[in-house]
Amino acid sequence: MSATTNTEKTSITLTLEPEQKQLLEKAAALRCLTVSEYLLQLALDITTEEIQKPEAIVVSDRDWEIIESATLNPPAALPLPYIAPEICRELPGC
């Protein structure tokens, strides 16, 4: 018995000038791709980059003061006896 997979697909339609289509066809041909494959590859690459960009976080003045204080004045490191023995064995001088 063979396993069947349900690969549902959808489509997107573009409206282009003839010159734009020719340009895309030429670029796709240079990579030995169809126009659809070429556009999908480009769109997914750009989308992945866009999603990975850092996002701005807006905080209140009060919250910013807390963040700034914690960044500028981090808590002191725990003395070595407080470190778990299995970790301590891996540290030099522990």
d(CA 84, CA 90): 10
**pLDDT for res 89:** 72
N residues, the chain: 94
91: Cβ contacts below 8 Å, ≥ 6 apart? 80, 83
Domain boundaries, the chain: 18-72
d(CA 24, CA 14): 12
83: Cβ contacts below 8 Å, ≥ 6 apart? 91, 94
**pLDDT for res 18:** 96
Mean pLDDT by 10 residues, the chain (94 residues): 72 95 96 96 92 87 94 79 70 68
**pLDDT for res 55:** 82
d(CA 61, CA 77): 28
**pLDDT for res 67:** 93
